[in-house]
């Protein structure tokens, strides 16, 4: 499996741009849309005033080759400007085993239910399976994050199990991590499902 690289991924409604420090202001506005940092179990989302530091920490991990990070850009329509609406990453990259995880994703509340998440995942999964040759792509979430679990299941991912007492969160609570995956031989069907959802 080749090393994943941060490159622009173009969709019809969204564009994924390699994350830069300049995206921090737009990401701060994105999390204000719905006060995303207040969502229970979404401990990876910085508060607006901490966004610049959060982006810098993400860029340090990216420079070390631990993750690939993108800003999610919603294309403007009818003369409106493009705007930053979220962030997403490849992480837990295991090149020898040809697998990676899609995670640390957040999107402005106003994009929820609009197909933006479906297109972001279509772009990322296409990159993983068709360019990088992954055998497996994982998605993980907190066991109590019902909205995240529903969104992952709508992608066509299969729940494989729950890692009990997997992480201690900043508030001291335990996270049981639900593990989902899509395999290479399932990708064609998952892609068709996503394209159908996007009306293609």
Got the DSSP string for 49-64? GGHHHHHHHHHHHHHT
The CA distances from residue 199 to 36, 62, 69, 109, 118, in Å, are 28, 34, 27, 22, 11
Among 21, 111, 137, residue whose Cα is nearest residue 69: 21
Is 39 buried (19+), middle (13-18) or exposed (0-12) by CB count in 10 A? middle
Looking at the domain covering 9-197, what would its CATH class be?
alpha beta
User: What pLDDT shows up at residue 127?
Assistant: 98
User: What pLDDT shows up at residue 41?
Assistant: 81
Which segments in the chain show pLDDT lower than 50? none
Q: Where are the domains of the chain?
A: 9-197
User: What pLDDT shows up at residue 43?
Assistant: 75
Q: H/E element holding 154? A: helix 146-154
Whole-angstrom distance, CA of residue 19 vs CA of residue 6: 8
User: What pLDDT shows up at residue 80?
Assistant: 78
CA 177 from centre of chain:
16
38, two tokens: 């207040």
User: What pLDDT shows up at residue 85?
Assistant: 98
Among 177, 158, 157, 156, residue whose Cα is nearest residue 166: 177
């Amino acid at each position: 499996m080749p090393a994943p690289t941060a490159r622009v991924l173009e969709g019809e409604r969204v564009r994924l741009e390699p994350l830069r420090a300049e995206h921090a202001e737009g990401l701060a506005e994105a999390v204000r849309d719905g006060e995303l940092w207040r969502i229970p179990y979404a401990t990876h989302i910085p508060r607006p005033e901490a966004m610049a530091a959060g982006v810098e920490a993400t860029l340090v991990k990216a420079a070390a080759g631990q993750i690939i990070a993108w800003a999610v850009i919603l294309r403007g329509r009818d003369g409106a400007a493009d705007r930053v609406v979220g962030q997403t990453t490849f992480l837990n990259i295991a090149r020898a085993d040809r697998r990676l995880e899609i995670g640390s994703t957040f999107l402005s509340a106003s994009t929820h239910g609009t197909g933006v998440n479906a297109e972001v995942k279509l772009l990322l999964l296409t990159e993983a399976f068709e360019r990088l040759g992954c055998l497996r792509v994982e998605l993980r979430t907190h066991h109590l994050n019902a909205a995240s679990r529903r969104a992952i299941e709508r992608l066509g991912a299969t729940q494989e199990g729950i890692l009990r007492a997997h992480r201690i969160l900043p508030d001291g609570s335990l996270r049981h991590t639900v593990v989902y995956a899509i395999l290479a031989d399932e990708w064609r069907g998952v892609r068709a499902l996503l394209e159908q959802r996007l009306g293609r």
